[in-house]
Amino acid sequence: MAVIPFGAGTSLEGHLYPVREAISLDLSHMNRVLEVRPQDFLCVVEPGLTRKALNEALKGTGLFFPVDPGADASLGGMAATGASGTTTVRYGGMRQNVLALQVVLASGEVLELGRGVRKTSSGYDLKDLFIGSEGTLGVITRLTLRLHPLPEHVHTLRVFFPGVEEAAEASYRVMAAGLPVARLELLDELAMRALNQYLEAGFPERPALFLEFHAATKEALEAEMALALELVREAGALEVEAAKTEEERRRQWEARHQAYWALVHLFPGHRFVITDTAVPLSRLPEMVRYAQRLLGDGPHREHPGPRGGRELPHLGPRPPRGLPQGGGLRRKARGEGLGAGRHLHRRARGGPPQEEVSPQRARGFFGVDAKDKGPPRPGGAPEPGQGA
């Protein structure tokens, strides 16, 4: 029988739904901060602790945990799903911010993976195998996390464009200039209209970039902002708005995090498919154009930088006939239309493509049981299921 770890239940992508009879392993009460070491920029936590609770506990240390997927997710679930968020462009996702894990396998064996140091080349990198495994390889029971200094100076912008292509081009220019942007998000006009109706946000209903810059000095921030404004205006920006207070900045990013629910509210009775894309930075504007053609009047949100993009095609109120089409759309959005096929990314300098690992190939690589989605079960022990 499969065991499905449960953290906060915030996932929108079905990680917690069993495909057959299963045991739900609730880790939400394992929610302690076990250790904070400010001098080493790390902390040790239990998997049921949420990211907001961690940052609340870190007040007064001058540090914060930056990974922000929007929902107040559990840190164990965030590691299990390889979560990222609006700050990934600057601070990285969970893979870059988890230093060590304690994991319990289906056999009951306890593994200590990774070390609480910035750099190590000792042994196999098994820690990263479990990040993003979605509970299929084992249950995370403890995490050592990397912390970051709170930025001294923060500046947040909303930049509006005549079309999505111009916004995508501007995001590419900002990234290509090497600016240390902390957040960079693209929303199309439909997403902006949905936010206005859902939150009464009062945004201009045009394609927009939401940007944020973090800097240690006021002078560095002003220089970065001046270059960023020059780049977005060269790309065709029509209007630039700056968040003047901390509360306005908080409302801007809360609006971004509420975009999914705003779009659901805009199309009552419809079913939605969420899918991600990942392309090389140089092909970002092309990917946005292609996604717009696929989606027609469907909403589009974009995470320039390492995350790629996210599409939200709505399938109408009758999903049985629409879902196969949505699945085809997901495959196209993930790269087939850009000549990538099932290749998620290519090595630099024109090297051979790296393919997705199918469950059958995973069994050969990792000893993972492709049918049961878990490792071999000694003595009939339960196998892990998919959870978050």
**Residues 134, 147: contact at Cβ < 8 Å?**
no
Do 285 and 230 lie in one domain? The reply is: yes
Residue 362 inside a domain? The answer is no
How far, in Å, CA of 21 to CA of 135, rounded?
A: 16
Residue 368 inside a domain? The answer is no
Tens digit of pLDDT for each residue in 243-283? 989 999 999 999 998 988 998 999 888 887 777 777 887 88
CATH of the domain at 302: 3.40.462.10
Residue 359 pLDDT class (50, 70, 90 cuts): very low
Residue 288 pLDDT class (50, 70, 90 cuts): confident
Of the three residues 149, 180, 199, the one that is the final residue of a domain is 149
Q: Give the residue among 311, 223, 318 at the shortest CA–CA distance from 275.
A: 311
**Residues 70, 78: contact at Cβ < 8 Å?**
no
Do 239 and 286 lie in one domain? The reply is: yes
Do 185 and 124 lie in one domain? The reply is: no
Q: Give the residue among 98, 117, 112 at the shortest CA–CA distance from 51.
A: 98
Do 201 and 247 lie in one domain? The reply is: yes
Residue 330 pLDDT class (50, 70, 90 cuts): low
Tens digit of pLDDT for each residue in 195-247? 999 999 999 999 999 999 999 899 999 999 999 999 999 999 999 999 989 99
Do 219 and 109 lie in one domain? The reply is: no
If 0-12 CB within 10 Å is exposed, 13-18 middle and 19+ buried, where does residue 75 land? Answer: buried
Predicted confidence at residue 299, as pLDDT, reads 53
Do 69 and 89 lie in one domain? The reply is: yes
Predicted confidence at residue 383, as pLDDT, reads 58
Of the three residues 103, 127, 149, the one that is the final residue of a domain is 149
Of the three residues 301, 323, 338, the one that is the final residue of a domain is 338
CATH of the domain at 6: 3.30.465.10
Residue 43 inside a domain? The answer is yes
How far, in Å, CA of 339 to CA of 351, rounded?
A: 15
Do 114 and 166 lie in one domain? The reply is: no
Do 262 and 169 lie in one domain? The reply is: yes
Question: Is the pTM value of this prediction over 0.85?
Answer: no
Has residue 324 got a pLDDT over 50?
A: no
Has residue 152 got a pLDDT over 70?
A: yes
Tens digit of pLDDT for each residue in 90-130? 999 999 999 999 999 989 999 999 988 877 777 788 999 99
**Average of pLDDT values for 154-164?**
94
Q: Which domain holds residue 245?
A: 153-338
Domain count, the chain: 2
Residue 363 inside a domain? The answer is no
How far, in Å, CA of 154 to CA of 66, rounded?
A: 14
Do 176 and 42 lie in one domain? The reply is: no
Do 10 and 27 lie in one domain? The reply is: yes
* Residue whose structure tokens are 């049981």: 369
Query: In whole numbers, what is the pLDDT of the chain averaged over residues?
Result: 80
Has residue 349 got a pLDDT over 90?
A: no
**Average of pLDDT values for 182-191?**
91
Residue 370 inside a domain? The answer is no
- For 50, the 3-state DSSP assignment is strand
